[in-house]
Amino acid sequence: MNNIHHELIDFIESGSPFHSFLNIQVLEAKPGFIKLRLPYKPEFGGNMERGILHGGISAMFVDIVAASSLWTHLAPEDKTATIDLRVDYQRPAMLEDLIGEGEVRMLSKSIANVHIKIFSSSTPDTVQAEGRAVFHIKRHQ
């Protein structure tokens, strides 16, 4: 994974108890872009009758993908905080793995804007949800 520090990959995949529980996997990473997989868990079910995930799962994944794509530009000791997070649901997510792609669209010394797309794994060409996130960055001196 080009020019991406291994500490970042390790953190995304297992650096926190929550990430470990989710079993998130890095599929691709380069400066300003990341592609992650969120493996399906039965606990993610929303409307089981309709066979769809809970919408909160998609929103949570949008936040993780957004922050992870931003971290591809940062040093391990830099800090970030989400200022704003928006999720636009376009269709239901099925009871299966989710794929998320995040792209940093604007990066300054202290603010970043990230665009996120979420797909169900069986329909990788159909966006399930889109997100936008704004972050505050505190760079290590």
CATH code where residue 31 lies: 3.10.129.10
- Coil, strand, or helix at residue 75? coil
Q: Is residue 15 part of a domain?
A: yes
Confidence of residue 8 (pLDDT cuts 50, 70, 90): confident
Where is average pLDDT lowest: 45-49, 86-90, 105-109? 45-49
Extract the tokens encoding 76.
């391990």
Evaluate if residue 29 carries a pLDDT over 70.
Answer: yes
- pLDDT attached to residue 25: 95
Q: Are 118 and 130 in contact (CB under 8 A)?
A: yes
Q: Is residue 129 part of a domain?
A: yes
* Residue count of the chain: 141
Q: Is residue 109 part of a domain?
A: yes
Domain with 43 in it: 6-138
- pLDDT attached to residue 3: 54
Cβ neighbour number for residue 3 with a 10 Å cutoff: 8
Q: Is residue 1 part of a domain?
A: no
Q: If you average pLDDT over residues 78-90, what whole number do you get?
A: 95
Q: How many domains does the chain have?
A: 1
Report CA-CA distances (Å) from 26 to 30, 82, 138. 11, 21, 24
**DSSP letter, residue 92:** P
- pLDDT attached to residue 128: 95
